[in-house]
Structure 1
Amino acid sequence: MNIGIDKMGFYSPHLYVDMNELAISRDVDPGKFTVGIGQEKMAVAPLTQDPVSLAANAALEILDETDQEKIDLVIVGTESGVDHSKSIATYIHPLLGLNPQARAFEIKQACYGATAGLQMAKGHIALHPDSKVLVIGTDIARYGLRSSGEVTQGAGAVAMLISREPRVLRLEEHHAYHTEDIMDFWRPTYAENAFVDGKFSNEQYISFFNRVWEQYKAASHLKLAEYEAICFHMPYTKMGLKALRTILEETDEANRDRLLANYEVSKTFNKNIGNIYTASLYLSLLSLLENQEGLPAGARIGMYSYGSGAVGEFFSGILQPDYQKQLHIQRHADLFASRKEISVTEYEEIFQQMLPADGSKADLAINEDPADIVLAGIEHHVRQYVNKKQ
């Protein structure tokens, strides 16, 4: 049975800060951020956007009435959930008008969560071929003002509809994965911002990639030359490139040039959004599909997922005929074009704004947010969401 990604949606807040301006304000050479790290703009989430609303907005653009009825499993991968008990998957159910006869839950394993959801969805469809699964990666990356990780913050979500006979990407049979208990990045329950051992995390990212790449080659008997492109989880856009370069000598110059060129295209969205944790790999895939016109149906796309702590996985998929018809290229172009640049001072003010820690009543200015789905406030410890289209 062919199983894979049938539709993809994406959403990011309407505000961003320019990396050149952030570098200047931090007394850093702008080239360190734009060239050394590979980031150009960083999405900034106002209080009216949280991981729930980001997830719902990403899914809203791809679901029709048939999908709403057929979806019987909703999986959300996140590492910035809003509740220790209740999942984001349950929050978004009424916002998207989904059939209540469905399972819904949240997965946590750093940036690997959405990939875990994708693989679980694949197994579910194999057992229930007539159903559909909604998988979403949604996150707001926070390291703290003036921290070493500040430049790799971001906010956004990617939604994927998984089904049999997919129209975008058919997932292939083989996959390789590896887990170790390491402390390269973590956020204790008492901390608002993450902790990271940057050098160690970079080393582990590449080490895990090399390990699962070798495992995948042994299982699939595929060579590097048989891949049109490889998409990577991108905590920052130079990270995936460092990993890719470790295997390029396995093929000839023409194939190396193609893989490098497609990598450059795959980072287009990521360098203008920043790190969105669980959705980062799938934002890279979407960037490749929507910005590289020459990708033929039947092309093989490799995928490397990494979640600190740590889990790594490599898998691949085959582009389907007329996959472009399922994309929302103009809508996403409009989303980027309509974003508003804010000053570093404005970014710092927004970053420090918090919802009441004691759950007391709060009303937010939702008319200032152009998104269809927003967080309107808190009342009696309950988050209040509004779908402006309902």
Structure 2
Amino acid sequence: MTAVGIDAVEIRTGRLKLDLPNTFAPAKGEDPGKYTKGLGLNASSFPDSYEDIVTMGANAAHRLMERKGLGPEDIGRIDVATESAFDNSKPVSTYVAGCLEQVYDGNFHHANKGERKFACISGTQSLDDAYNWIKAGRHRGRAALVIATDTALYARDDPGEATQGAGAVAMLITEDPSVVELSTEQGYGSADETDFLKPQQQFPSVDGKRSMQVYLARMREALEDFESVAGDTHPDDYAYIPFHTPFPGMVRKAGLLGFRHMIRDTPVEDEFAEEIGRQPRPEGFDDDEAYEEAVRDYMDALKETEGYRDWYGNTIEPTLSISREVGNWYTGSVHLARASALRHALDNDVDLAGQRLLVGSYGSGAQAEIHAETVVEGWAEEVRAMNVDEQLGARHDLTFEEYESIHDAHNHDKDTDLDPLTSPDGEFAFTGWGRMGERQYEYVE
């Protein structure tokens, strides 16, 4: 059976940087540790006034195609996942294709284009669509271009403001891929939830406590569903476990929950039992409240053990390095986590070929998906080709006053004309409005 998966990845971060401990925290009169230790974030990325979800997605896709030597004739579908779209009819993928056609001789007239929406999980859903399209034999030997692109802004003074971010991840999906092969087996956890939503509004309405509960509940369901078709999971089975990362602090809870689940009824649980006892079982308690309290006590003890800390430090912590510097990218966040893990392996000379990842995607509203990925030969060359570190280092460091201005510039309810803080160079840029109110773009040499 032919392998299908991710053949190449490119990341495009917004050109602006907001330093959370040194710029945002002092302006808010808050302890920097609230951000660096509590949320696990050092900085956020923002788009300059000429950047948006189209330019970031098109620039990531362009670099990917140039690096791989591809033209429009090699791409059979373009899927864009976003929850930051500005048109309720015309998909962002058509804008991206229009940008790319400015720099190629051919066109994408025979490529299927679409836009996926299910909060942050739609990037993974778009991967699934591309996988199924190729597996069904409908691709005619062509590749799929999947782009997750978002500007994740919150209203000023909203509790989520510090987790903002902006950027795009472009992925090439092919047969015989060079990065990871996607598993056929998937697990889902889904329910009608109201934890995060944007009913006819740009900035989200969020129930933070509820959102955390829903995230963990759907992840647990998805893991159980995945195991029903793929067999039991074990913490030693996976080199890395990338999670959807709205902020690294949220992943700490997901990692602990997943580890507790995977070690239950295994020799690993027996080893931990010598130190902290066995996991509580419902049948050992008279009511749910007592059982749940015992579970919380067990998890508090588990997270302090050296064994768990070592596992977390090796398996999950490496997936968070990029997110710490850019904030939440919504649909791109879990794909940043994968890239962080692969980059960590490259930097530490880890031979990952043949090893597996367990990928946990999530979208509010709500749905989680768990699937496995097998790292393939060629991954190191592809990861080495990414220039995300260069982009992060080149960002313009915002003052708080500049941050306020750029936030207003991207607020749909405000008519703000802001001079750019950086200069576009060899990239697609937003240049103004067309006769029907459409956004227009040009490639700037």
If the length of structure 1 is used for normalisation, what is the TM-score? 0.93
1:98-127 CA distances to partner (integer Å, 9 max, x unpaired)? Answer: 532111010111101111110010010112
Q: Structure 1 residues 127-136 or 265-274, which shifts more?
A: 127-136
- 1:151 deviates by 0.7
Could you tell me how far apart the structure 2 residues matched to 1:358 and 1:341 are? 23
- Match in the other structure for 1:30: 32
- The 3-state SS of whatever aligns with 1:75 is strand
Where does residue 88 of structure 2 map in the other structure? 84
Which residue number corresponds to residue 434 of structure 2?
379
* Offset, 1:359: 10
Instruction: Look up the match of 1:275.
Output: 328
DSSP-derived class of the 1:49 partner? coil
Q: Note if 1:57 corresponds to 2:69.
A: no
Report which of the two has the higher share of strand: 1
Equivalent residue for 2:377, pick from 321, 345, 353: 321
User: Could you tell me which residue of structure 2 aligns to residue 42 of structure 1?
Assistant: 44
RMSD of equivalent CA atoms: 2.2
What is the one-letter code of the residue matched to 1:22?
Answer: F
Give % identity.
Answer: 29
CA distance in 2 between counterparts of 1:363 and 1:201 reads 34
Would you say 1:221 and 2:221 are equivalent positions? no
CA distance in 2, matches of 1:271, 1:365: 25
Corresponding residue of 2:222: 212
1:194 partner letter:
P
By percentage of residues, which structure has more helix?
2
Question: Which aligned pairs between 1:236-275 and structure 2 lie closer than 5 A?
Answer: 236-249=247-260, 250-251=262-263, 252=268, 257-275=310-328
Q: Structure 2 length as normaliser, TM-score?
A: 0.82
Map 1:56-205 onto structure 2 (within 5 A). 56-64=58-66, 65-97=69-101, 98-128=107-137, 130-189=141-200, 191-205=201-215
What one-letter code is carried by the residue in structure 2 that aligns with 1:268? S
What is the identity, as a one-letter code, of the residue corresponding to 1:120?
D
SS of 1:292's equivalent in the other structure is: helix
Provide the residue aligned with 1:334 in structure 2: 390
Q: Deviation per CA, 1:245-300: give whole Å up to 9, x if none.
A: 11324344768724432322211111100101000000111111123232520110
Corresponding residue of 2:295: none
CA distance in 1, matches of 2:24, 2:307: 38
Deviation at 1:169, TM superposition (A): 0.3
Which residue, 378, 403, 408 being the options, matches 1:347?
A: 403
C-alpha contact (below 8 Å) 1:26/1:146 kept by paired residues? no
CA distance in 1, matches of 2:208, 2:321: 23
User: Shift of the alpha carbon at 1:68?
Assistant: 2.7
- Decide which structure has the larger Cα Rg and report it: 2
Taking the aligned partners of 1:355 and 1:26, their CA distance within structure 2 comes to 20
Give the Å deviation of 1:387.
Answer: 1.5
Aligned-partner Cα distance in 1 for 2:396–2:425: 11
1:303–1:314 contact (8 Å) kept in structure 2: yes
**Equivalents in 2 of 1:134, 1:330: separation in Å?**
17
Aligned pairs, number: 387
